[in-house]
Chain A
């Protein structure tokens, strides 16, 4: 009798649970997609339509806002600065982070655990706290308002991720593969380039792209540390009050799009990284 009762109760509970699950998924997706959708609509509509309500479902594909954006004074320079800083960050964080990840996965050295902890703690520092002392130091050393100066700050932000991702990548390659290569005529270096590198290259690329996106989206340090050579984020922040609204939409769209595409492309590696970091 009780068996029958639970059989009847279970489908209802499961059904209700399923509805809850579906609803929360839809809400979460909407929370992300709806703002992006508005961004897209308003970017691709004529400048006058931005204030109109209700919104057309499909964008008019009017390039008015975008062309205004492109010709706005200083916008293209800011865009180029963003690209240069992000590119530099990408190169530096991989150049420093990948060897660190390799060392952590392959070697045992005194202070190894402390090193790992410090890398993680790096992210615990609130950037606003550091930004002003950094600005002072940068002015003193002449790094203020330079691409390389900002890239150094962004590299510091990106390195923990670079190290963590590369660490999990290298840990996934059994030592035996390298040892086999050593017995087959490879030096340590050639074993690395011929066996390990081809296997982790996709992961390194993902790590590099993630570093690029971190730098691209960063606002605070960029706003504080650059004056003449603003990056796009800093530029838009400063012009926020003065600019017409369709410009802000276009700027927002330009900022969001690369990050969106890149993160989508490398999501597999990010899941792996967070899975490892949760242990």
Chain B
């Protein structure tokens, strides 16, 4: 049960109003894409759901619990960052297993989950390498694997494919959709690429003032 509800969320940075009164519901196991031009506030909204930013006003509910006062680790979420944020001092195995080790899971459980997720993302041969020895695409897959290994209720992705070449992007899109449908995770995906949005989403929310096209299912905020 990982429905996300955003109620009347607004965010101000000093004098600048980044988000005006956002109301949004993402159903359980739905793949929601937040689409918008750069600077429209989609990453800010994602970070508010994640817990890395606090909303100036409003509430965030995940799985029927109010979470906006909780730190990221207590919200049942996992996030994939735009620049992957793979830990350079750990092997791929330890990166993917980082969250599991923080939960103090037994060694064989950690190994089982890491290997399963690594197979899912086709990186099982890279487990002993360090991030410096990986290509961009491989690092991106490590970042997604790390989030998936946590088996979160909600997975949040901030433009994870934007740093990849076109062909790899297409491949990863298909893989991601399949992987997330299989793991029955609610997903919120931020992008500025409409093609990506259209091919991935169950539901697409358009953010920002560019409400021209008939593409979006939902117009989010102003």
Contact = CB atoms under 8 A, between A and B. Distances in A.
Contacts of B88: 199
Interface stretch (B34-42, B79-87, B163-171, B201-209): B79-87
A176 B143 CA distance: 12
Given A179-B52, A180-B79, A186 B102 contact: yes
Contact of B78 (A177, A184, A186, A190): A184
Q: Is chain A's interface secondary structure helix, strand, loop, or mixed overall? A: helix
Contacts of A180: 79, 81, 85, 87, 146
User: Which of B51, B72, B103, B150 gathers most chain A CB within 10 Å?
Assistant: B72
A24 interface: no
B85 A174 contact: yes
Contacts of B102: 184-186, 190
A244 interface: no
B85 A185 contact: no
Q: How large is the interface on A (under 10, 10 to 19, 20 to 34, 35 or more residues)?
A: 10 to 19
A177 B52 CA distance: 12
Contact of A177 (B77, B79, B87): B87
Contacts, number: 55
Contact of B73 (A176, A182, A198, A199): A182
Interface string A129-157: 00000000000000000000000000000
Interface size class of chain B, counting residues whose CB lies under 8 Å from the partner chain: 20 to 34
Nearest to B103: A185
- Find the residue from B73, B78, B79, B83 having the highest chain A CB count within 10 A: B73
29 contacts: A176-B81, A176-B83, A177-B85, A177-B87, A179-B52, A179-B79, A179-B85, A180-B87, A180-B146, A181-B98, A182-B51, A182-B52, A182-B71, A182-B72, A182-B73, A183-B50, A183-B52, A183-B78, A183-B79, A183-B147, A184-B102, A184-B146, A185-B73, A185-B99, A185-B102, A186-B73, A187-B71, A187-B73, A199-B88
Given A182-B71, A183-B52, A184-B146, 8 more contacts: A177-B87, A179-B79, A179-B81, A180-B146, A181-B98, A182-B52, A183-B50, A185-B99
